[in-house]
Amino acid sequence: MTRSDSEAIRFIQGDAEAQGPEGRCEVGPSGRTDTELLDAYSRAVTAVAEAVGPAVVSVHVGRETPDGNGVEPIGAGSGVLLTPDGYVLTNHHVVREKNRVWLTLMDGTQLGAVSVGSDPPNDLAVVRADGSGFPYASLGDSSTLKAGQLVIAIGNPLGFQSSVSTGVVSATGRGMRSLDHRLIENVIQHTAPLNPGNSGGPLVDSRGRVVGINTAIIPAAQGIGFAVPSNTARHVVSQILSHGRVRRGYLGFSGRQRRLARRLVRFLDLARESGVEVMTLDPDGPAGRAGIVPGDIVLEMNGTPVESVDDLHRLLSEVAVREIARITLLRGAERQVVEVPVAESASRAG
């Protein structure tokens, strides 16, 4: 990790000394969130658009032509600058499997960019623009969002650069499948209109803080958009800048949800009526070396009940690599506890 990466992490994690006042796009508290009058609402949205808009970029992706003499454009989306030295957060699905990325700033300036890292399970990616001294936005605390709260989406839908749309938070804590079928948790559902090209752009609160990264819509619906929460983004970006990837725990087996017989649940006084049955196992993986075998049903991990593969993924994301995980499992009609040293895998699911 370079010194520049370390400084970027300090910016993203909210180190006030590292950030300083220069360049940051955030609306001050004075009179900005007064919604008693419609004019005040309009002023709040305008202030956010003026403050955060310069930090929003168009992300263009393409591949080299077969003759090697040009680049064929094949897609575009949005992104948001998080640091003055050019780190941009966008969606993984915007930049995946593309060998060329370039950015367009609000003033029309085009810049080259390189991929820094990507996290398909959360549909997030980081690229870095060539240059420095950029305007940038701050990540807010998505855990404080409430249904009905004003949010503003800024992006480049259908190629219309720096478009602004408004809505409210419809709900928090939604679940949504990423491209690799993992569950993205605590997704924000909102009503700010989104269209193709908004992907990767920021969802902003009335103070100009980025509270989400817009990632998906339901095409047949009206007023239903989804954003990956900023707290998830903060963790992902810090991991990418520190390690080049998001480090996740790996146990070395695949499984499926298995409903347990009620008599067995009562007899063993189990907390849940479902567990995760081990289907296939890497014999040289952590679970295989610890003695887990196909057919075992995982009931708990570190004392927390496991009912589904999603539960297992979530708990693994909270365990440090090389930490010992205490797995409570059911083998036949006998409950056992197995200690498994968690390994690291950037790509495997379980």
Residues with a known catalytic role = 93, 123, 199
- Cα 265 from Cα 260, distance rounded (Å): 7
Dihedral sign from CA coordinates of 247, 250, 256, 260: negative
Residues 6+ apart with CB under 8 A from 219: none
User: Count of H helices and E strands in the chain?
Assistant: 8, 22
Asked whether the CA dihedral 194, 155, 123, 210 is positive or negative, the reply is negative
Q: Are 154 and 162 a contacting pair, CB within 8 Å?
A: yes
User: Which one, of 82, 89, 61, 95, lies nearest residue 134 by Cα?
Assistant: 82
SS3 (DSSP) at 197: coil
The DSSP-derived string for 69-103 is: S-EEEEEEEEEEE-STT-EEEE-HHHHTT-SEEEE
Number of C-beta neighbours around residue 339 at 10 A: 10
Determine contact, residues 306/298, Cβ cutoff 8 Å: yes
Provide Rg for the chain, Cα atoms: 22
The Cα 231–Cα 174 span in angstroms is 14
CB 255 within 8 A of CB 278: yes
What values do phi and psi take at 173, rounded to 5? Answer: 80, 15
Strands 136-139 and 24-25: parallel
